[in-house]
Structure 1
């Protein structure tokens, strides 16, 4: 999805779109699947996957289950059907809980934001609005916090932050929303003109680029709409997908604007019908893991494990993986209870890696999620999480879920936070939208213009975000565990971090024009490399070495 940047950034882009500016971002093309390539042989800052497989070619692999907690997965996609996890203890379609795990007919996973009547949550509210209105009556007249308990003080501070975010937009936010509305109206008009001019209702950015207008009206429409395709590196995206993405973003911003005066609608509660405040009320949802919003999860799943060497579409990273679909992410902010139960479901059903390409700025039930993370650690499960797309420093800006335990008992050691890298020829080595953090972002991985599966059965396209970088790391983690199953989650994390390849190239710090070292933006100061990772994993697995706190000198040289 392309509308994953700060509102102010999108508003600036929208102004240019609205005014039909002819100035377009000039970005060199990178080939499909560039993120799998090698710097030395291909000249691209990918993860050197072919070299990794060459190193592993005479070794035996074991099947690894990777859970994708996301918006849903197209279970009928040609590149995903062969790699879907199937619950061996469940008889499909018999309406019974054959394996007695509390979830009926959970054949390929479970949908925690569905109803027993078959309906599914598509859109939802934002956590800031939920927090603000839930605790408003309790805290709005508090002037002295000295009498508050430790737990109430924690909640009060969270509420004050939500209050500022929900009510502090002012005239600037109102102007940005007005611009977005007018931009969308102009986009709809231009799209209608272009559909008629091109002669078909659905066209890609490349189709639009190749189209030759015959009237001034068509020329203006092409110039205006092409800005979004080129500026976001989504030339393979269709006009319908682009417009849907824009409309969803506009709807979300309108909901945020309404939140100051109006409590958000309980989208989830009306469908799921659980007792949300009771964590033990956990056997809700349905088995529709595709539901009606599978774009994001389908794209993420393809990056990890799309069937390799089948002559179709793309090759995923890991070659002996089964994807478990766990739906918990709506169009809006996910709920902590659903996230915590999704993690527990994945662990209980055999996942060894869990990908989490989602996030939000508030976590009112963080303890539930923390307990699930600790449970995953106790069962030897690695969690991989996207750092977020706000060009923010998450050392100081909250982004949830995160590995820092609310009870101050420490930090999860089975957790990797991933920032998004790119290629210098296509916008920079660090993605301009990526969150970063010298303490809290562990490693960067390709997340710009990533080509993968999208809903439609045999359809593929580009997307970008830390949402795409996280499954690149999850795929490499699964690859490592497939060949070296004796490694613990902590060892796999250490392998990925200590094999990350450094560079002497200066990068632009996201959200600024400042030139910095990659070590200023992450723990490792490096970019994921599958080849270096499997070499180090092999050495550790065989007992030849232990992870060191430095990168391979040869690898460092290769990246200069």
Structure 2
């Protein structure tokens, strides 16, 4: 599911529950947040960012030189022509572009900047897809529906499958207490928004306008005032003031289509979007080599991945748009996340591709509630761990506790009780403004055991498809690349660090906000340590100081126990 649709959906659910369009306006002040606040420093800039410039000053004071690091971004795609990204794209120098030959014999033809696992050799691509819950429910319905199952007699694999199917059934069919979304009212709201948009376009004399431009617009008639108030409530309520009316309305309609699809899923199986295009055997992990080398596909498809990539690595110091976090990295794009839920096979193979082609950090800003082929993911994660690759994953945007709520992929190996040591799960922080979200983004998932650290994820300004376009977006999808970028930065200056050492640097470098924070989705004020392992906010400078005191590990050392040099900075 796209970030715009998911956050919009959360707001619309609140809107529907109160059955009042005007009451959807956010009660919080719409204070401007500085562009790039996530890179700033509390003492110098008054923003609870990651103190990035202090980290660079530290590297300079130590006379350190960086070594290039490849960061794989498993996502929706990337604008390969963007002014701030085209120079940081990973290039597979072992391939001859466009000759139709697998020159490096890695199984992927002309994979110049990465690979698209959501396409076929004829150039067709998957953009929209269904949700995993519906896929699981209908795929296993004939096996379990209406049958008496003795769960104790099942194998571990079958037990996992049956339990997953029961959860999928409840998700698709709903529980007795679940009233679901009022589709009739939602359609009315969408229709009203389109009508108000039409009024405003005529009144403002332009077909495209942003939420900020709408906020500044002075209506002259009652109809214009009503239209402005109603539509502005949605822009502000979703913190999407820089989004255009076109993108916002399209996202609203997309959310409606998604809810209609969920309603249809109660009666029939979802459309097999991926199967209709890709042509592989999705149930065979050894059926590889499918897809194509188009890692952009379209502007709309590449929105999420472009933004994520820019947070990590937008060209620094070029005077354009924004600066990424890491100054000596290359972005390898692995397109495996559609508008809908990703497929386990694509993610597992994308992880393996990244590892085999030199990536040392992998960012994963996606997630879902069901994982029918989790063993494939686990095997890929274990493979990455064996090759010294760090995985960074977004915690999710449902303001839920992921210690007790399924959120896949995750570092917990199925059936063993063990956990991957090369994995960081990231919650989203805000800039500390008490009139906004405070220190924690209201949408962020959390977990004392499973969320390692909180990092900036609200109103993050970065690259957007269009060649020279930039936007502010919200989500743990934005927080994850802030951590991935920081990890890559540390690794570029300390290339001997293991994934476990990188994780240690990031965790021990996290800084407590020094006061209570809001539990996401509530008004309850708690210690950050109650909803994350570290109880801290990411800080690149503090992590850099810790990294400088870490020694290279010998091969016989336990990689999960980083060692510190016995000296002070």
Scaled to the shorter chain, the TM-score interval is over 0.9
- How has the CA–CA distance of structure 1 residues 22 and 507 changed in structure 2, closer, same or farther, with 3 Å as cutoff? closer
- CA distance, structure 2, for counterparts of residue 214 and residue 349 of structure 1: 60
CA-CA distance at 1:548 after TM superposition: 9.1
Match of 2:457 in 1: 447
Choose from 528, 531, 543 the match for 2:538.
528
CA-CA distance at 1:241 after TM superposition: 1.5
Deviates more, 1:403-412 or 1:14-23: 14-23
| Kept after mapping to 2: 8 A contact 1:419/1:441 | yes
Choose from 407, 418, 442 the match for 2:415.
407
- CA distance, structure 1, for counterparts of residue 338 and residue 374 of structure 2: 18
- CA distance, structure 2, for counterparts of residue 247 and residue 548 of structure 1: 53
Choose from 280, 283, 286 the match for 1:280.
286
| Kept after mapping to 2: 8 A contact 1:420/1:444 | yes
Match of 1:557 in 2: none
CA-CA distance at 1:504 after TM superposition: 2.5
Is 1:95 equivalent to 2:103 in the alignment?
A: no
| Kept after mapping to 2: 8 A contact 1:79/1:306 | yes
Choose from 208, 212, 217 the match for 1:206.
212
- CA distance, structure 2, for counterparts of residue 298 and residue 119 of structure 1: 20
Deviates more, 1:17-26 or 1:528-537: 17-26
- How has the CA–CA distance of structure 1 residues 67 and 254 changed in structure 2, closer, same or farther, with 3 Å as cutoff? same
Q: How does 1:74-85 map to 2 (within 5 A)?
A: 74-85=79-90
Match of 1:558 in 2: none
CA-CA distance at 1:151 after TM superposition: 1.8
Q: How does 1:421-500 map to 2 (within 5 A)?
A: 421-425=429-433, 426-500=436-510
Q: How does 1:77-476 map to 2 (within 5 A)?
A: 77-145=82-150, 146-168=152-174, 173-292=179-298, 293-408=301-416, 410-425=418-433, 426-476=436-486
CA-CA distance at 1:90 after TM superposition: 0.7
User: Where in structure 2 are there 5+ consecutive unaligned residues?
Assistant: 554-560
- CA distance, structure 2, for counterparts of residue 455 and residue 278 of structure 1: 34
- How has the CA–CA distance of structure 1 residues 92 and 70 changed in structure 2, closer, same or farther, with 3 Å as cutoff? same
CA-CA distance at 1:202 after TM superposition: 0.9
- CA distance, structure 1, for counterparts of residue 413 and residue 537 of structure 2: 26
Give the TM-score taking structure 1 as reference length: 0.95
| Kept after mapping to 2: 8 A contact 1:4/1:465 | no
RMSD in angstroms over aligned alpha carbons? 1.9
**Cα deviation 1:64-83 (Å, max 9, x = unaligned):** 00000000000010000010
Match of 1:3 in 2: 5
- How has the CA–CA distance of structure 1 residues 339 and 175 changed in structure 2, closer, same or farther, with 3 Å as cutoff? closer
**Cα deviation 1:48-90 (Å, max 9, x = unaligned):** 0010111112310000000000000000100000100000101
| Kept after mapping to 2: 8 A contact 1:444/1:469 | yes
| Kept after mapping to 2: 8 A contact 1:495/1:547 | no
| Kept after mapping to 1: 8 A contact 2:395/2:425 | yes
CA-CA distance at 1:168 after TM superposition: 1.1
**Cα deviation 1:395-425 (Å, max 9, x = unaligned):** 0000000000013151000000000000221
- How has the CA–CA distance of structure 1 residues 78 and 130 changed in structure 2, closer, same or farther, with 3 Å as cutoff? same
- CA distance, structure 2, for counterparts of residue 248 and residue 448 of structure 1: 22
- CA distance, structure 2, for counterparts of residue 66 and residue 318 of structure 1: 10
- How has the CA–CA distance of structure 1 residues 382 and 82 changed in structure 2, closer, same or farther, with 3 Å as cutoff? same
- CA distance, structure 2, for counterparts of residue 211 and residue 93 of structure 1: 49
| Kept after mapping to 2: 8 A contact 1:419/1:435 | yes
Give the TM-score taking structure 2 as reference length: 0.93
Report the secondary structure of 1:221's partner residue.
helix
- CA distance, structure 1, for counterparts of residue 355 and residue 40 of structure 2: 32
- CA distance, structure 1, for counterparts of residue 220 and residue 522 of structure 2: 41
- CA distance, structure 2, for counterparts of residue 93 and residue 17 of structure 1: 55
- CA distance, structure 2, for counterparts of residue 384 and residue 485 of structure 1: 18
- How has the CA–CA distance of structure 1 residues 542 and 379 changed in structure 2, closer, same or farther, with 3 Å as cutoff? closer
- CA distance, structure 2, for counterparts of residue 318 and residue 414 of structure 1: 20
- CA distance, structure 1, for counterparts of residue 354 and residue 216 of structure 2: 45
CA-CA distance at 1:246 after TM superposition: 1.7
**Cα deviation 1:503-536 (Å, max 9, x = unaligned):** 3211111122221100000000000000001111
Match of 2:557 in 1: none
Is 1:40 equivalent to 2:48 in the alignment?
A: no
- CA distance, structure 2, for counterparts of residue 200 and residue 169 of structure 1: 46
- CA distance, structure 1, for counterparts of residue 71 and residue 149 of structure 2: 48
| Kept after mapping to 2: 8 A contact 1:18/1:224 | no
Is 1:54 equivalent to 2:64 in the alignment?
A: no
- How has the CA–CA distance of structure 1 residues 401 and 208 changed in structure 2, closer, same or farther, with 3 Å as cutoff? same
| Kept after mapping to 2: 8 A contact 1:18/1:186 | no
- CA distance, structure 2, for counterparts of residue 189 and residue 456 of structure 1: 27
Deviates more, 1:293-302 or 1:257-266: 257-266
User: Where in structure 1 are there 5+ consecutive unaligned residues?
Assistant: 555-560
| Kept after mapping to 2: 8 A contact 1:22/1:223 | no
**Aligned residue-pair number:** 548
| Kept after mapping to 2: 8 A contact 1:18/1:182 | no
Report the secondary structure of 1:534's partner residue.
helix
| Kept after mapping to 2: 8 A contact 1:74/1:455 | yes
- How has the CA–CA distance of structure 1 residues 542 and 399 changed in structure 2, closer, same or farther, with 3 Å as cutoff? closer
CA-CA distance at 1:21 after TM superposition: 3.9
CA-CA distance at 1:169 after TM superposition: 5.6
- CA distance, structure 2, for counterparts of residue 90 and residue 17 of structure 1: 57
| Kept after mapping to 2: 8 A contact 1:27/1:427 | no
- How has the CA–CA distance of structure 1 residues 118 and 173 changed in structure 2, closer, same or farther, with 3 Å as cutoff? farther
